[in-house]
Amino acid sequence: MRQGIGEFEEIVLLVVAAQHDHAYGLSVTEAIEVQLKRSVKLSSVHTSLYRLEEKGLVESRIGDTSTLRGGRKKRHFIITTLGKRALIEAQEARQTLWNQIPSSVLDISKG
C-alpha cells in the first residue's frame, strides 16, 4: 500500500529514522537546517511530525521533564514499520526515475 507523503514529510521521516530514538521537534529542525542547508520553521516540523503520526508512519512518546526546558517534557518520535515501508517506496520510486535519465543528460562537462 503506497503511503502518500510529500517531499518535506519524506525529509522529516528520514531524519526521524536517522536519529532513531532521539528524534524530537527541535532535533529534526536542526538536522534539516545543518545537513540540507535549508531554513525551516520548528512549527512546520511539528506539523509534519503530527501528520506523519496520524498516518501511522511514526509513533511518539513523552520523555522525562527537563530543568533546561523549564520542566516541560519532550515528545520523542520513532519510525514505524509502515514508515519504513513508505521510505523504501519513496526511494525506489526516485531510483526508477533516476535510472531513466541518460548519463549524457547529467554530464555537466558538456554544458
The highest-level CATH class for domain 7-96 is: mainly alpha
Q: Is the pLDDT of residue 111 over 70?
A: no
Per-residue pLDDT at 65: 63
Confidence of residue 68 (pLDDT cuts 50, 70, 90): low
pLDDT attached to residue 110 = 76
Give the residue extent of every domain in the chain.
Answer: 7-96
Tell me how far CA of residue 85 lies from CA of 4, 53, 55, 73, 96, in angstroms.
11, 14, 12, 30, 16
Q: What is the pTM of this model?
A: 0.86
Tens of pLDDT, residues 69-97: 566 778 999 999 999 999 999 999 999 99
φ and ψ at residue 75, rounded to 5 degrees: -100, 115
Band the pLDDT of 1: cuts 50, 70, 90. very low
Give me the mean pLDDT over the 44-51 stretch: 97
Backbone angles phi, psi at 20, to 5 degrees: 50, -115
Q: What is the pLDDT of residues 3-34, one digit of tens each?
A: 679 999 999 999 999 999 899 999 999 999 99
Tell me the pLDDT tens digit for each residue of 97-109. 999 999 889 888 8
